[in-house]
Amino acid sequence: MVRFDILTLFPNMFSSPLNESILKRAQQKGLVEIKVHDLRDFSSDKHHTADDYPYGGGRGMVMKPELIIKGIEKVTSPIEGSRVILMTPQGKRFDHAYALKLSWLSQIVIICGRYEGVDERVRKYVDDEISIGDYILSGGELAAMVLLDTVTRLIPGVLGNPGSPEDESFSNRLLEYPQYTRPRKYRGLEVPEVLLSGNHGEIKRWRRMQSLKRTLERRPDLLEQIDLSDEDLSLLSEMRKESDPSK
């Protein structure tokens, strides 16, 4: 069981994502517990002020340190395996390997930053700063949902298959092969013949080949990090021959 505590100024943003699909089922099965806390509840002034002007001047507002720090102290249990994460575009890039590490913790506290930033003193109370990519969101909420969804899928039992292949690191995996379902022909577009053959060996080989091809074309950086089998190498050379028969 992983417990998530989310500290945000916009708790309503989480209601729909938490009540649909995998995240909903994981909570119902008791595999995760997700608590969303309104940061304004931790403010001491009667107006529940969350932000203020930056010292030194300049544009924009800064999230006040007290609410966040009090929030962290309130929700963090003195248990092993608890981590406090600040969602920020200044953080380390989120990836599969980090998500996998989080999936073994007992508590994950996520702080959603807003406005132009958070008071620097908050960083002393944070274990990790995480960014989901090189672009700026209006706040950390959507980033927190990405993290929440990715980590939850990796918790054993959530997807219903304990030894899931996702235990491997993403960088050790090829991109997925193309998938088809009925109808067999749609607007003149046909399902590849091999998938209808019933020959499982051939299908497996074709899928591996397609994965290799797709990875080579779209993400050659991944291919460099993968341990390729002799069969993969021969499939790759077959592919090169197909694209250039003189090879």
The Cα 23–Cα 241 span in angstroms is: 46
Which of 23, 132, 145, 158 binds ligand ADE (CB under 6 A)? It is 132
Query: Measured from the CB of residue 21, what is the shortest distance to ligand ADE in angstroms?
Result: 22
Question: 3-state DSSP call for residue 114?
Answer: coil
Query: Measured from the CB of residue 136, what is the shortest distance to ligand ADE in angstroms?
Result: 5
Residue 137 as a binder of ligand ADE (CB under 6 A): the answer is: yes
| Residue whose C-alpha is closest to residue 34's, from 48, 19, 47, 51 | 19
For residue 29, which amino acid is it? Answer: K
Inter-CA distances, 168 with 79, 94, 163, 165, 174, Å: 28, 16, 10, 6, 11
Residues contacting ligand ADE: total by CB under 6 A: 13
Residue 89 as a binder of ligand ADE (CB under 6 A): the answer is: yes
- Asked if residues 65 and 126 have their Cβ atoms less than 8 Å apart, the reply is no
Distance of CA 86 to the CA centre of its chain: 14
Residue 88 as a binder of ligand ADE (CB under 6 A): the answer is: yes
Q: Which residues pair with residue 198 across a beta bridge? A: none
Residue 131 as a binder of ligand ADE (CB under 6 A): the answer is: yes
Q: Smaller CB distance to ligand ADE: residue 133 or 157?
A: 133
The stretch near ligand ADE (CB under 6 A) out of 43-51, 134-142, 228-236, 239-247 is 134-142
Tokens of 19: 């009540």
Q: Please state whether 57 falls in left (phi above 0), alpha (psi between -120 and 50) or beta.
A: left
Residues 98-117 that bind ligand ADE (CB under 6 A): 113
Residue 150 as a binder of ligand ADE (CB under 6 A): the answer is: no
Residue 8 as a binder of ligand ADE (CB under 6 A): the answer is: no
The stretch near ligand ADE (CB under 6 A) out of 37-45, 68-76, 132-140, 213-221 is 132-140
Instruction: Give, as one character, the DSSP assignment of residue 118.
Output: B
Q: Smaller CB distance to ligand ADE: residue 128 or 232?
A: 128
Residues forming contacts to ligand ADE in the complex (CB under 6 A) are 87-89, 113, 131-133, 135-137, 139-140, 143
